[in-house]
């Protein structure tokens, strides 16, 4: 390793140690997460500048990415145990099973309803900024991406709505517990609900055995939540490494070249955050209070680009900070990671469809075409993988369904990581908004449960 590269790496670990010393002993993690974000931006920018000094940032980046990706891997490790135990405990503790149906309907209603609004905002922003696929230039990277997309489109273009719904049903729960499918989280939720309902049946017929089951699942949840809090302690350092790596790898020339699309995307995402805030306000929740509690989760979602990896942090914040019922928190976080993602499955495919439709002479404000786009977007939002690249999957479903080519998804590859960060934060906020509204509507039936001590 070059001496300058070693110096940069040493400086990075000095910053990490300084962040640790500053954070140690503090009760709140939020300031440390924000500090990690700022330090990541600064160090990522330093790596960008180091090229002009003769340094070799490519020697430093693997070590930084090792830290960030290791933290994300730990979060993925938590997802399935957390979803399984939390949903199971929620079902076992609910005295009326009808409440589970109401929770599901409420959460899905908010997720899908806001996705429809997001699609309309995507069309509006593409039109206001005059975005069109006609002006995009296809380079070497983009041409390679087109080939990949053409291969992937065959995997999703023939999926019917019944096939999409069928994919939610678990066939091999052990396979789904590995997260092997894009709909594995939903499959595990369904399995946990069924397992919980069977536990309720056992409790009615065999009270002694039912009490033992309830005690067992409670112990399992306490154990898993202790693991969650153990991993969450590393959040500031994981955020710092993730952001530093993203900034260091960003191509500012590409961002400038596609500046209009970047600005339009961020405006659309910002408008959807306002829509979430308005929905909360209309239902008696102070948006300022809400965002003051959830912004550390949004920072992590922004830096990790993964709704699925954010599930543990999402659930913990809903229960501990927003005082949502664990049942509601787990349902909303789990569903929100794969269904009705406002950013990836709402705004993005709608913007791309508009950008392609305009040069083809299609009137995007034609009521029939617009309503069809919104309907296809909402339906296609089922089963979108909650990891980086889920937006591309959504585009591969929506564009062919509207009779449009998918090439545009490849032409925007240069700025995808930057926009995907904000889209993921919006996805996660949509899930937390759905949980908070559901708690507001069903509070009498599903009271906020006691927080599991960890």
Question: What DSSP string runs through 117-168?
Answer: HHHHHHHHHHHHTT--GGG----HHHHHHHHHHHHHHHHHTT--HHHHHHTT
Residue 428's SS3 state is helix
Q: Rounded to an integer, what is the distance from CA 448 to the centroid of its chain?
A: 24
220 contacts 199 by C-beta, under 8 angstroms: no
What backbone torsions phi and psi does residue 131 show, to the nearest 5 degrees? -75, 140
pLDDT in tens, 238-251: 888 888 887 787 66
pLDDT for 381: 80
- Label residue 109 exposed, middle or buried (CB < 10 Å: 0-12, 13-18, 19+): middle
| Cα 145 to Cα 157: distance, rounded to the nearest angstrom | 17
325 contacts 436 by C-beta, under 8 angstroms: no
pLDDT in tens, 63-115: 888 888 888 888 778 878 887 887 787 788 765 566 778 888 999 999 999 99
Q: Which domains does the chain have, with CATH numbers?
A: 3-442 (1.10.3860.10)
| Cα 443 to Cα 440: distance, rounded to the nearest angstrom | 5
pLDDT in tens, 270-289: 999 999 999 999 999 999 99
CB neighbours of residue 17 within 10 Å: 11
Distance separating the N- and C-terminal Cα atoms of the chain: 43
| Cα 65 to Cα 246: distance, rounded to the nearest angstrom | 9
Q: What is the pTM of this model?
A: 0.73
Listed range (165-174, 278-287, 381-390) with the worst mean pLDDT: 381-390
| Cα 372 to Cα 355: distance, rounded to the nearest angstrom | 16
pLDDT for 59: 79
75 contacts 231 by C-beta, under 8 angstroms: yes
Structure tokens at 424: 């993921």
Confidence of residue 384 (pLDDT cuts 50, 70, 90): low
413 contacts 141 by C-beta, under 8 angstroms: yes
pLDDT in tens, 17-47: 888 888 776 666 778 888 888 888 888 888 8
pLDDT for 371: 92
Q: Specify whether the backbone of 179 is left (phi greater than 0), alpha (psi in -120 to 50) or beta.
A: left
Listed range (108-112, 125-129, 158-162, 284-288) with the worst mean pLDDT: 158-162
State the average pLDDT over residues 194-198: 89
Q: Residue 311: which of 100, 76, 67 has the closest Cα?
A: 76
State the average pLDDT over residues 401-415: 68
325 contacts 102 by C-beta, under 8 angstroms: no
Share of the chain above pLDDT 90, in %: 23
State the average pLDDT over residues 258-276: 91
424 contacts 336 by C-beta, under 8 angstroms: no
Torsion, Cα 436 441 444 446, to 10 degrees, reads -50
Listed in order, strand segments (DSSP E) in 360-435 are none
Q: Is residue 409 over pLDDT 70?
A: no
What backbone torsions phi and psi does residue 382 show, to the nearest 5 degrees? -75, 125
Listed range (54-58, 200-204, 427-431) with the worst mean pLDDT: 54-58
Mean per-residue pLDDT of the chain: 81
């Amino acid at each position: 390793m070059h001496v300058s590269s070693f110096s940069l790496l040493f400086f990075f670990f000095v910053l990490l140690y300084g962040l640790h010393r500053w954070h140690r002993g503090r009760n709140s993690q939020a300031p440390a997460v924000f500090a990690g974000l700022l330090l990541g931006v600064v160090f990522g920018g330093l790596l960008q500048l180091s090229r002009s000094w003769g340094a070799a940032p490519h020697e430093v980046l693997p070590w930084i990415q090792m830290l960030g990706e290791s933290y994300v891997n730990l979060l993925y490790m938590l997802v399935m145990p957390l979803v399984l135990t939390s949903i199971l405990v929620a079902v076992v503790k609910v005295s009326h099973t009808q409440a589970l149906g109401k929770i599901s309907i409420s959460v899905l209603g908010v997720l899908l309803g806001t996705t429809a609004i997001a699609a309309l905002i995507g069309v509006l922003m593409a039109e206001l900024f005059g975005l069109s696929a006609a002006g995009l230039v296809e380079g070497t990277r983009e041409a390679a991406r087109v080939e990949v997309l053409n291969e992937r489109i065959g995997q999703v273009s023939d999926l019917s709505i019944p096939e999409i719904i069928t994919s939610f049903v678990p066939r091999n729960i052990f396979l789904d517990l590995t997260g092997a499918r894009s709909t594995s989280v939903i499959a595990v939720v369904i399995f946990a609900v069924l397992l919980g309902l069977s536990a309720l049946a056992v409790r009615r017929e065999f009270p002694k055995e039912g009490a033992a089951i309830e005690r067992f699942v409670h112990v399992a949840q306490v154990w898993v939540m202790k693991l969650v809090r153990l991993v969450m302690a590393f959040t500031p350092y994981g955020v710092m490494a993730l952001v530093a790596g993203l900034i260091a790898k960003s191509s500012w020339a590409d961002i400038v070249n596609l500046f209009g699309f970047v600005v339009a995307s961020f405006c659309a995402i910002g408008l959807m955050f306002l829509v979430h805030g308005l929905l909360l306000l209309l239902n008696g929740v102070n948006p300022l209070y809400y965002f003051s509690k959830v912004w550390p989760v949004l920072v992590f979602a922004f830096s990790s680009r993964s709704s699925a990896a954010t599930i543990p942090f999402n659930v913990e914040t809903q229960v501990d900070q927003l005082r949502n019922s664990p049942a509601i928190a787990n349902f909303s976080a789990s569903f929100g990671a794969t269904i009705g993602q406002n950013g990836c499955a709402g705004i993005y495919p709608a913007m791309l469809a508009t950008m392609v439709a305009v040069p083809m002479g299609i009137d995007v404000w034609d009521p029939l075409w617009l309503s069809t786009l919104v309907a296809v977007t909402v339906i296609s939002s089922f089963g979108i993988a909650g990891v980086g690249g889920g937006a591309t999957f959504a585009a591969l479903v929506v564009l062919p369904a509207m009779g449009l080519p998918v090439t545009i998804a490849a032409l925007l590859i240069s700025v995808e990581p930057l926009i995907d960060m904000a889209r993921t934060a919006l996805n996660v906020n949509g899930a937390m908004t759905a949980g908070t509204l559901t708690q507001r509507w069903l509070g009498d039936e599903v009271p906020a449960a006691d927080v599991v001590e960890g």
